[in-house]
Structure 1
Amino acid sequence: MVCAHCSKSVLGQTEGSHQGYDPEHGPPLLSLLISCTNCGQSSLFLSEDYGGGWDEPARVWPAPGRRLGLSVPRELRDEHEQARLCFEAKAYTAAGVMVRRTLEGVCAVKGTTKRTLFEGLREMKESGAIDERLFEWAQALRILGNQGAHYTGTQISREDAEDALDLCEALLDYMFELTAKFTAFQQRRKPPSAGEDQQ
């Protein structure tokens, strides 16, 4: 496992386990408390048995990075997930490059006509697809991704890669997930037409 506390790849040591089964709440459940053999901190994993044996335990605490909502196009979720996997593998420069690829995907999904990422982001700003703040975030992520994509002799740090992932996630959330939620909210709150209002 990769320890959620110290980020080291370790075997882990099972400190305790518990099996439970309530047919009204799903399949048999195995809870595992596993400690890191490097830093000593513990993590909680859960495994379920759907009839073919226990599946691969999944960490539930500390909570893993959350998944992007389904309003974010699948291809962008996939790119962002690859960036996160690079980060978890400690390939921080690769994570920065994948964040940049995610931005390129955003431009493609939004139908920009410009050839470069810089111009595509500017086109999205001018069309109102992103505001000034999101444009600044995207430009900072583009520059970081360029640092990773072109040999400069400088690696992307863990902190910068982590911030890039968070900012990219926020940008995707705002552009797709929150925008869809707000549109649905507006539809529900739409005042009735004049005829309906007088019934």
Structure 2
Amino acid sequence: MATVRGRYDVDFNKSPKDEINASYLLVSCERCGSAQLLGVDIFDAEDDLLQVVWPKSSTGDLNAAIPGPLIREMRQAHSCFKTKAYTAAAVMVRRTLEGLCAEQGTTPKKPLFNGLKELRDSGKIEGRLFDWAQALRVIGNQGAHFSTTAVTREDAADALALAEALLDYVYVFTARYAEFEQRRASKSANTSPNADT
């Protein structure tokens, strides 16, 4: 979530009709206050999503708590998406899911479906996240096996977003919640039983 602080529209051709070719937004994060410059290329009607122009992170927008091999797979998925190789992006998302299962210690060499079930059964992902992961697996399968049905841009974009949410849940939010609980438990232990509540 961010607040727009400024906008700059560009007409590269100096068209008399003032046609906008690109648009940039300066935004501030509502949580931490940091600034970002977002851009959208109006030349390409199919690819009108805002992209982070600045700052460029060495790990993309992925949290550093996510293991490096998974970040590498997601970077490649994003690269495929940016070049409009949507089928390849879906395959890279599937590889990320396989990597997640391996990193979390599921039984090796089992089908991905079983690995995801193990993550659910062990409590590492919950019901809705399991459903998301299964949907990503299906899209990845669609990309990995020849079919007359192409992976669409929308499906690839959703696959990237859901994969990142899944990684954040497993590696970022779960750890942050555990820290929060530990901090609260230690505060409770230090609070006098006679203190007002």
TM-score (norm 2): 0.69
Which segment is superposed worse, 136-145 or 70-79? 70-79
Matched residue, 1:150: 145
What amino acid does structure 1 have at the position aligned with 2:101? C
**Residue number among 37, 51, 67 corresponding to 1:64 in the alignment:** 51
Native 8 Å contact 1:148 1:156 kept in 2: yes
- Secondary structure class of the residue paired with 1:42: strand
**Residue number among 87, 90, 107 corresponding to 1:93 in the alignment:** 87
User: Residues 185, 41 of structure 1: CA spacing in aligned structure 2 closer, same or farther, 3 A cutoff?
Assistant: same
Native 8 Å contact 1:112 1:120 kept in 2: yes
Matched residue, 1:19: none
User: Residues 36, 136 of structure 1: CA spacing in aligned structure 2 closer, same or farther, 3 A cutoff?
Assistant: farther
User: Residues 185, 35 of structure 1: CA spacing in aligned structure 2 closer, same or farther, 3 A cutoff?
Assistant: farther
Deviation by residue 1:126-161 (Cα, 9 ceiling, x = unmatched): 111111111110000000000000001221000010
RMSD (Å) for aligned C-alpha atoms: 2.7
Deviation by residue 1:23-54 (Cα, 9 ceiling, x = unmatched): xxxxxxxxx98656696123479xxxxxxxxx
Q: What is the alpha-carbon distance in structure 2 between the residues aligned to residue 86 and residue 39 of structure 1?
A: 27
Q: What is the alpha-carbon distance in structure 1 between the residues aligned to residue 101 and residue 173 of structure 2?
A: 18
User: Residues 192, 166 of structure 1: CA spacing in aligned structure 2 closer, same or farther, 3 A cutoff?
Assistant: closer
Gaps of 5+ in 1: 1-31, 46-58
What amino acid does structure 1 have at the position aligned with 2:51? P
1:39-50 correspondence runs (5 A): 40-43=21-24
Deviation by residue 1:83-137 (Cα, 9 ceiling, x = unmatched): 1111011000000000000000000000000511011011111111111111110
- The aligned length equals 154
Gaps of 5+ in 2: 1-7, 14-18, 27-35, 40-49, 53-59, 193-197
TM-score (norm 1): 0.68
- Secondary structure class of the residue paired with 1:190: helix
Native 8 Å contact 1:34 1:44 kept in 2: no
Indicate whether 1:185 and 2:166 are aligned.
no
Q: What is the alpha-carbon distance in structure 2 between the residues aligned to residue 44 and residue 34 of structure 1?
A: 12
Q: What is the alpha-carbon distance in structure 2 between the residues aligned to residue 96 and residue 108 of structure 1?
A: 19
Indicate whether 1:104 and 2:81 are aligned.
no
**Residue number among 98, 101, 107 corresponding to 1:113 in the alignment:** 107
User: Residues 36, 153 of structure 1: CA spacing in aligned structure 2 closer, same or farther, 3 A cutoff?
Assistant: farther
Q: What is the alpha-carbon distance in structure 2 between the residues aligned to residue 107 and residue 36 of structure 1?
A: 47
Q: What is the alpha-carbon distance in structure 1 between the residues aligned to residue 62 and residue 124 of structure 2?
A: 19
Indicate whether 1:77 and 2:54 are aligned.
no
What amino acid does structure 1 have at the position aligned with 2:21? G
> Kindly, what percent of the aligned residue pairs are identical?
50
